[in-house]
Amino acid sequence: MMEPITVVIPGEPQGKGRPRFNGRSGVYTPAKTAAYESMVGVLARASMRGKPVLTGPLHIDLRAVIPIPKSWSKALRDAAITGDIRPTSKPDIDNIIKAVSDGMNKIVYADDAAIASVSANKVYGENPFVVVTVKPLKETSNV
């Protein structure tokens, strides 16, 4: 069985931006999103270390660590660190998943359509980052 691939993306988690439209060339990806997806691709390539792309149905585990607001009191900060308070602000977890999975596309897996299962969460932390692990699901018969 293929081994899981883990990619750590330092910095504040970014969500996939909505497509933008202009009069001449049509639809384009916002520059901030394109830069984040490109960085994810570079980190994913480094994590692959020459391993073959994953195939078959895949599962993604994603954890986004959001920075604690500097204005919060010590009590709120402590509650955030222990997980008693969870982030409910932007970026949306689904947009984080999309930005990260698009950045790893054709690097960790041949096509992000192979992602059949996702587990994701947002938590607060002192140092923001995203960690994502992609692993093959056990194939079962189509009977």
Per-domain residue ranges of the chain: 5-136
Q: What is the overall mean pLDDT for the chain?
A: 92
Q: Is the peptide bond before 91 cis (omega within 30 degrees of 0)?
A: yes
pTM given for the model: 0.88
Task: State how far the alpha carbon of 37 is from the alpha carbons of 23, 78, 82, 102, 143, in Å.
Answer: 25, 32, 30, 7, 38
The three-class DSSP label of residue 75 is: helix
Comparing CA positions, the residue from 140, 137, 143 lying closest to residue 57 is 137
Structure tokens at 96: 């984080």
Quote the pLDDT of residue 1: 65
pLDDT digits (tens, 9 = 90+) for 87-143: 999 999 999 999 999 999 999 999 999 999 999 999 999 999 999 999 999 765 554
> Rounded to a whole number, what is the largest CA-CA distance in the chain?
57
Q: Candidates 3.30.930.10, 3.40.50.1980, 3.40.50.300, 3.30.1330.70; correct CATH number of 5-136?
A: 3.30.1330.70
